[in-house]
Structure 1
């Protein structure tokens, strides 16, 4: 059975990986400076970072429309796919999953399986990779979806931001938590748990916060082989230092991707944000096409994203 894998642009998968595994990416929309465009192709990470760096600058996001998903699903089915597995960022953070679910209802729920990763960025991306590898190995749709679910359940995402204000404005973190971080000049280490952004611990400096990201990643990895991703927005040097530390501290690191956050997630975390995603899922030898290892991390300038224009992502 031919199974196609679909995701949205907030997975921030490196383009080379998307091409290698034949993953279909549906972009979110980003609104800034009075115009709306698709993440990556119309609105770049750099534009979002510049807008947010200006006092009073505001950027909003919206999900892809159900029609966007319907068009993609039908094209894939017309092109020979027998089933589709569609994996998306947390429904607690965006309406993207709901738009995909509505589209599946129009196309046929017996043909399209829509999954909520309960995560974001490569927290979603690693689940998508697991699905795509299973599909490439010829697994049936149920196994492809199961691979995504299993990976999403154990993948961990940790990040730090320069200010909590952008998360507060977008409703991704409570006002009380944002005020506490600002008033005490703390640098919270955040994580995504059960689909929501939650403060994990607080430290005094950015350097200590990054060190805690590394230690959290080491704790999740244990003695096992892991894949990792490093994300950033307008902070390439900090991201590279984080990637170097992970390479040194994780001797069984099998895969490392370094990419800049796209406009849709970048609008909510702000310039200076850095994060790490750890996937401890065992990968059978020979499973799916080989991807670049940590010696040659993938670089990405920006990514794509999408939500119904005018509707909160």
Structure 2
């Protein structure tokens, strides 16, 4: 039985990890004024987006899922002859309609996959389950990396899906935005599912007009709130990395994965105060640290230089 994992383009896993484990990436459409482009999580395109397009992002710009028919065609082209069973992991259904669209597209496959497999000389049934990751950015990456580990260990697809659904509610995701002015200029996007990160903007900008104060935002179980303040981005990141290091060394992680993503050059993350110590703690405790680029979806909402960090663990006070 050939088992596949699919993630959407907002899932912040490193490109080499995606290639090594042959993980297909469900594209996301990006709208910038009258321009429309498709994010397939290609590093060079993401870097170009950061430098050329992100500075031009306006209040009405954003990302959106492909339509149901488009996703179904993508499933048919990319999955039904390549795998026998597929788990499709998406960004939180509270944040985006990707889960809803992918679920509807998967239902339609039941009427169409047999013809496609027969034409390719592939026997047997095809099955797909779409899983709401209940997280975003680095948080989605934690679940995806754990799914890869479980599949590699020979776990049955149903066991993998069940484990992901259990872990989804225990993923601790943290965000640090370097440019709160970007959040203010973006404003509040009414009519979407919370404007993806409207509540985060409210938490950050509700701190007042002190744009030089950088909050660490916790995103867990549908609640977004500031858990720390710092006078600079580096100080905020240092607090976050130290918190993660404490959780790792205490053996509190529920899966041996810790993911960090950044909207900029990744070398800047490695130079942050506390990164080397966190990396060493992960090595000591057998936790894999994944460092990736923040998706254009994340960058549109958070701005250039934003940081996302996530792991699965019981809820704990940020210290």
What corresponds to 1:68 in structure 2?
70
What corresponds to 1:82 in structure 2?
84
Q: Report which structure shows greater RCO (CA 8 Å, sep ≥6).
A: 1
What corresponds to 1:104 in structure 2?
106
Match of 2:304 among 257, 265, 271: 271
What corresponds to 1:16 in structure 2?
16
Question: 1: distance between equivalents of 2:56 and 2:186?
Answer: 16
- Given that 2:259 and 2:291 are in contact with CA atoms closer than 8 Å, whether structure 1 keeps it comes out as yes
- Given that 1:43 and 1:263 are in contact with CA atoms closer than 8 Å, whether structure 2 keeps it comes out as no
1:15-52 CA-to-partner distances (Å, cap 9, x unmatched) read 22222222221111112253111114595343245434
What corresponds to 1:146 in structure 2?
162
Question: 2: distance between equivalents of 1:37 and 1:196?
Answer: 31
Deviation at 1:161, TM superposition (A): 0.4
What corresponds to 2:121 in structure 1?
none
Question: Is 1:134–2:160 an aligned residue pair?
Answer: no
Deviation at 1:249, TM superposition (A): 4.8
Deviation at 1:9, TM superposition (A): 0.9
What corresponds to 2:242 in structure 1?
215
Q: For structure 1, list consecutive stretches of 5 or more residues without a partner in the other structure.
A: 282-313
What corresponds to 2:184 in structure 1?
165
Deviation at 1:80, TM superposition (A): 5.2
Question: 1: distance between equivalents of 2:45 and 2:17?
Answer: 21
Question: 1: distance between equivalents of 2:101 and 2:294?
Answer: 22
- Given that 1:127 and 1:151 are in contact with CA atoms closer than 8 Å, whether structure 2 keeps it comes out as yes
Deviation at 1:199, TM superposition (A): 2.4
Q: For structure 2, list consecutive stretches of 5 or more residues without a partner in the other structure.
A: 112-125, 190-194, 315-319
Question: Is 1:262–2:298 an aligned residue pair?
Answer: no
- Given that 1:51 and 1:59 are in contact with CA atoms closer than 8 Å, whether structure 2 keeps it comes out as no
Match of 2:205 among 179, 185, 210: 179
TM-score using structure 1 length: 0.77
State the structure with more CA Rg.
Answer: 2
- Given that 1:13 and 1:122 are in contact with CA atoms closer than 8 Å, whether structure 2 keeps it comes out as yes
Q: What is the DSSP-based 3-state SS (H/G/I as helix, E as strand, rest coil) of the residue aligned with 2:264?
A: coil
Q: How many residues align?
A: 281
Supply the RMSD in Å over aligned alpha carbons. Answer: 3.0
- Given that 2:169 and 2:221 are in contact with CA atoms closer than 8 Å, whether structure 1 keeps it comes out as no
Question: 2: distance between equivalents of 1:228 and 1:167?
Answer: 29
- Given that 1:48 and 1:59 are in contact with CA atoms closer than 8 Å, whether structure 2 keeps it comes out as no
- Given that 1:189 and 1:201 are in contact with CA atoms closer than 8 Å, whether structure 2 keeps it comes out as yes
TM-score using structure 2 length: 0.76
